[in-house]
């Protein structure tokens, strides 16, 4: 697929923060709102814009677009400031770097579609050396919309690639549903909370147990 595009989710597909992501999010929320976070809205398969809006509601904090803009900036800065800690506590998932490298060697363009704001996404990928394989300007981030189908369409538009020439890899039922709605082929990776059967039942075209078997993953991608 030399003219195609491989799009990756980040959290629990390529890497895991092992709890630090929640801490960084809470720190940014406190900085922006002045309120200490007691609880966070469900993050699974969601986007930062939705998570912030719902978490603000849980704390009786009025949500505005300006609040999200400020939060996105602060969240990126918090990730950058604590990048060394992220490197120590988090990890790239087994096989992630090897698969990205193998696909890149075949001349296939790769980017990300993630609910993370771009500043946080860039730090996460750089910390684990995954950014060099990705064309991040072709991706879509939490600033680009509320739902993942919207983000996928934004990435396809930026990359000037039709849906039928794209593959999306994610780990949640929301990722699968988004890919199907956007018309791209979906490879689901059972490395998050969703089981392989959950992802299969959601309609994934291919379900993988992980990324460790590099030849199998690359073959499934079709690179």
Domain ranges across the chain: 5-16+91-221, 20-87
User: Phi and psi of 20, rounded to 5°?
Assistant: -70, -30
pLDDT digits (tens, 9 = 90+) for 42-86: 888 789 999 999 999 999 999 999 999 999 999 999 999 999 999
pLDDT digits (tens, 9 = 90+) for 4-41: 999 999 999 999 998 899 999 999 999 999 999 999 99
Q: Which CATH number fits domain 5-16+91-221: 3.30.750.24, 3.40.50.1000, 3.30.470.20, 3.30.70.20?
A: 3.40.50.1000
Tell me, what's the pLDDT at 1?
66
**Span 128-134, average pLDDT:** 97
Tell me the average pLDDT of the chain: 96
* Reported confidence tier of residue 2, pLDDT bands at 50, 70, 90: low
Query: Rounded to whole angstroms, how far apart are CA atoms 3 and 5?
Result: 7
Question: Is the pTM for the entire model greater than 0.75?
Answer: yes
* Reported confidence tier of residue 3, pLDDT bands at 50, 70, 90: confident
DSSP secondary structure letters along 6-63:
EEE--BTTTEE-TTHHHHHHHHHHHHHHS---S-----TT--HHHHHHHHHHHTTPPP
């Amino acid at each position: 697929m030399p003219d195609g595009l491989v799009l990756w989710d980040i959290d629990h597909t390529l890497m895991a923060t092992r709890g630090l992501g929640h801490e960084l999010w809470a720190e940014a929320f406190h900085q922006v709102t002045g309120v200490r976070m007691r609880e966070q809205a469900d993050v699974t398969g969601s986007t930062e814009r939705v998570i912030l809006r719902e978490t603000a509601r849980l704390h009786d904090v009025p949500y505005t677009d300006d609040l999200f803009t400020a939060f996105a900036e602060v969240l990126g800065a918090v990730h950058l400031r604590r990048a060394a800690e992220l490197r120590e506590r988090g990890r790239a998932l087994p096989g992630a770097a090897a698969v990205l490298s193998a696909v890149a060697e075949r001349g296939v363009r790769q980017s990300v579609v993630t609910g993370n704001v771009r500043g946080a996404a860039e730090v996460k990928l750089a910390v684990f050396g995954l950014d060099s394989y990705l064309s991040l300007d072709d991706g879509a981030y939490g600033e680009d919309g509320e739902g993942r189908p919207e983000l996928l369409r934004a990435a396809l538009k930026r990359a000037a690639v039709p849906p039928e020439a794209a593959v999306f890899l994610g780990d949640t039922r929301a990722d699968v549903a988004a890919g199907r709605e956007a018309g791209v082929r979906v490879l689901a990776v059972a490395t998050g909370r969703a089981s392989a059967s959950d992802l299969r039942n959601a309609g994934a075209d291919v379900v993988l147990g992980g990324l460790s078997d590099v030849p199998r993953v690359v073959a499934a991608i079709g690179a």
